[in-house]
Amino acid sequence: MVLMFLNGDGMRGGRLHDQLAGAPLLRTARTAPKYRYYSVGDRFPAMVTTETEGRAVTGEVYDVPLETLRDNLIPAEPPELELGLIELDDGTACLATVLRHNHLDSPELIDISHIGDWRTYRTAT
């Protein structure tokens, strides 16, 4: 089992939540303020570590079996994302999907770091 931070449609009520195959929700959480947060063409969110002007991102932490990660979550992710290690605001390390660095110059990126919450962003758009 691994800690997995979700910040998009895999969260409760999201269209991809079933990909978790019943993995238990441990808590809602925020990342450390080290990330820029983007909407990728209003299709899904993506975060990336930054050295300057980082913000916290809101999400949920799940206890996910490695088999669920391998068989369900990772195959369902868009090609712009990859598995990475992130830090929560309490110092906890978690896996999360993050933006691949070769997509940082994509014209589809909309910086939503000031919002830091995919659900809030989607409600506002």
pLDDT digits (tens, 9 = 90+) for 44-103: 999 999 999 999 999 999 999 999 999 999 999 999 999 999 999 999 999 999 999 999
What average pLDDT does the chain have?
95
Residue 1 has pLDDT above 90, yes or no: no
Q: Which CATH class name applies to 2-124?
A: alpha beta
Quick check: pTM over 0.75? yes
| Phi, psi values for residue 15, rounded to 5° | -70, -15
- CA separation for the pair 118, 66 (Å, rounded): 25
According to DSSP, the residues that pair with 47 across neighbouring strands are: 37
Residue 125 clears pLDDT 90, i.e. is over it: no
